[in-house]
Amino acid sequence: MDVHPETHPTEPGDESTSGPMAVPTGYRPSKVAEVLELDMGDGLILYNHDSSLVHHLNPSAALIWQLCDGEATVSDLAREVADEYSLDGSQVEVQVASVIAEFDALDLVEDVEPPSPNGDRRR
């Protein structure tokens, strides 16, 4: 799992000074291969084979999950969601960054580095 300082409180145990978990807006979330998904109609059920954990995503989180293809950054995802639903982009970006941070903390996604100058992706 990539550990991003932005996803953890600065002082362990002191939640009054910590904001919501977040990842950098340039983070490119990509689903990890070990996660299986099942569409439940009202969201998704995810099963992480490595951790043996099951997660239920509401429709909003499921939409963000489905967009995690490693191509788009958190900013790109937020802009896409905000445009689709005519929402305030800055608020959506904060919420999307928080959801992606939770996915990252649960080892459901990983950050994919942008392509190198020769076009190859690095992980």
Q: What residue spans define the domains of the chain?
A: 23-110
In the CATH hierarchy, which top-level class contains the domain 23-110?
mainly alpha
> Which token pair is 106?
């649960």
By three-state DSSP, how is residue 106 classified?
Answer: coil
Which residues touch 82 (CB under 8 Å, ≥6 apart)? Answer: 88, 89, 92, 93
pLDDT (tens digit, 9 = 90+) per residue, 87-97? 998 899 999 99
Q: Smallest Cα–Cα separation from 104: which of 45, 18, 15, 35?
A: 35
Q: What is the rounded average pLDDT for all residues in the chain?
A: 83
**What whole-number percentage of the chain has pLDDT above 90?**
63
